[in-house]
Amino acid sequence: MKLAYLTEVAAIMAAHSQLFIEQTDEISSEAVGDYYVLSRNRFNRWMRDLNELEHSQPINDPRHPAGKIPGRATVRAITEQILINEMISRIWTVLLLARDANNGIDRIRPVARNIHLGHLAVRHKALRVVQADDRMLSKDLLAIDQLRKSSERWTDLLCCSIMGQYNLWEFAFDKDRAMEFLRDRIDEAGLSHRSRSWVLILAGLRHSFPDTDALSAPVHDDDRRLVRLILNSFPANAPEMTFWNGSCVREAKPC
């Protein structure tokens, strides 16, 4: 499974948001616990890698996907991993909080907010390392900044209807922009996999995040496990998720 494909997973999550938010089955405590543990393990790995790179040390783990990439390319690769994965993380946070709000409970919010803040800390660390690394070339800096802007805009677009419905604007990268995205939708309807715009959304994502160059890299096992956990939390009547729960997510091989 390539890194670029995670953006399509993010879109599929948003398109099936109402099915997830309104489903009657509870998310198991085991799933919530696994989400917390897997996320924290990933944060720790990213922070360890970034600390080593900040001090110009090579990645020590030979099994690490970026372990054999030299210098500045490693900084760029890890930063791009963090930015792409944040799309899924932020949309999942919004969905979890919307589900709690829809059910009038406060069950998952503490864990969801904790993981959201953890991802923010990792993101800020990565961007600081990028800015401070004098080995970074102008083309690398431009590529990272473009990826950051694209991921932020797409996340706000995918999430705007949910944030509007449940007053979760604090999770927008740019609240004014997200509200404008929602106003641009004539009926302010949420994204749906059955809507006419769905094909255009996927086409736009594939154009913005092509599975070439850095985004053709395979995802880390941690990312694969988190994606599988998230998709398994959606109800059975979300058949479009079948492909993403197939061999591309389940097995540790490129897709």
Average pLDDT over residues 99-106: 92
Return the pLDDT at 216.
87
Within 10 angstroms of residue 169's Cβ, the number of other Cβ atoms is 16
- Answer with the residue of higher pLDDT: 39 or 53: 39
Return the pLDDT at 126.
96
User: Is the model's pLDDT at 114 over the cut of 80?
Assistant: yes
Return the pLDDT at 63.
47
Q: What are the residue ranges of helices labelled H in 104-246?
A: 109-132, 138-166, 175-184, 197-208, 221-232
Q: How confident is the model at residue 253 (pLDDT cuts 50, 70, 90)?
A: very low
Percentage of the chain modeled with pLDDT above 90: 55
User: Cα-Cα-Cα-Cα dihedral of 77, 82, 83, 86, to 10°?
Assistant: 160
Return the pLDDT at 37.
96
Residue 47 CA to residue 51 CA, distance in Å, equals 6
Tell me: the pLDDT tens digits for 196-243? Answer: 667 778 788 888 998 888 888 888 888 999 999 999 898 876 655 655
Whether 127 is covered by a domain: the verdict is yes
Residue 228 CA to residue 225 CA, distance in Å, equals 5
Whether 155 is covered by a domain: the verdict is yes
Return the pLDDT at 41.
94
Those residues whose C-beta lies under 8 Å from the C-beta of residue 36, and which sit 6 or more positions away, are: 111, 114, 115
Return the pLDDT at 239.
59
Tell me: the pLDDT tens digits for 43-82? Answer: 999 999 999 888 876 555 544 555 445 467 889 999 999 9
Identify the bridge partners of residue 218 per DSSP, sorted by sequence position: 2
Return the pLDDT at 214.
80
What secondary structure letter does DSSP report for 26?
P
Tell me: the pLDDT tens digits for 124-165? Answer: 999 999 999 888 899 999 999 999 999 999 999 999 999 999
Whether 255 is covered by a domain: the verdict is no
Return the pLDDT at 236.
74
Identify the bridge partners of residue 2 per DSSP, sorted by sequence position: 218
User: Is the model's pLDDT at 247 over the cut of 90?
Assistant: no
Token pair recorded at residue 22: 């309104």
Q: Is residue 217 within 8 Å of residue 1, measured between CB atoms?
A: no
Mark 32-44 as b/e (b = at least 16 C-beta within 10 Å).
beebbebbeebbe
Whether 145 is covered by a domain: the verdict is yes
Return the pLDDT at 175.
96
Residue 218 CA to residue 1 CA, distance in Å, equals 6
**Phi, psi dihedrals of residue 10, rounded to the nearest 5°:** -60, -45
Name the one residue in this structure whose structure tokens are 């489903």: 23
Residue 216 CA to residue 221 CA, distance in Å, equals 15
Residue 58 CA to residue 70 CA, distance in Å, equals 8
Q: Which domain holds residue 60?
A: 5-250
Indicate the number of domains in the chain. Answer: 1
Average pLDDT over residues 107-125: 95
